[in-house]
Amino acid sequence: LIRFVLCETGKCVHVLKDSGKYVYGVTDTLQALEMGAIETLICWENLDIVRYQLKNPITGEEKLLYLDPDQEKNKTHFTESSTGVELELMDSMPLLEWLANNYKSYGAALEIVTDRSQEGAQFVRGFGGIGGIFVILYCLFLQILLLYFA
């Protein structure tokens, strides 16, 4: 059992590994945030993910991409795989900036952490620099589902 205690902003946040009370990684964290399941969103101060909003000029379909610097170099992310159509860039900004502007609309708190402490460095290495702690009611809902379907 690994416990992270992040106290860099004056407020302690506890994350218990294997407790089922947290989520980490860009995709899983943002899905949970959109569902309103995140109480506290935790991000590394140097998170180097860019949020891209793209649009297919033929179909009008929009999609969001979250890319790190290595992924940005791969131009296949910016074309439709089935047709080869180049997608229109509607908007792009650092994910951390987008989260700082929008976290409140999801009912979450935002904690920014540094990797200059042992706990912060472990959070960046172990969780990729982004994660969230679930709302307590969401944790109870997950436990009920697991009991019901187990």
- pLDDT tens, residue by residue, 17-57: 445 678 889 999 999 999 888 989 999 999 999 999 999 99
Which pLDDT score is estimated for 8? 43
Q: How far is residue 129's CA from residue 112's CA, in Å, rounded to a whole number?
A: 10
Q: How far is residue 84's CA from residue 74's CA, in Å, rounded to a whole number?
A: 14
Q: What does CATH list as the number for 3-149?
A: 3.30.1330.30
Q: How far is residue 46's CA from residue 112's CA, in Å, rounded to a whole number?
A: 9
Which pLDDT score is estimated for 123? 86
Which pLDDT score is estimated for 119? 82
Stretches where the chain sits below pLDDT 50 are 1-18
CA angle, 37 then 41 then 47, to 5°:
135
Which pLDDT score is estimated for 140? 55
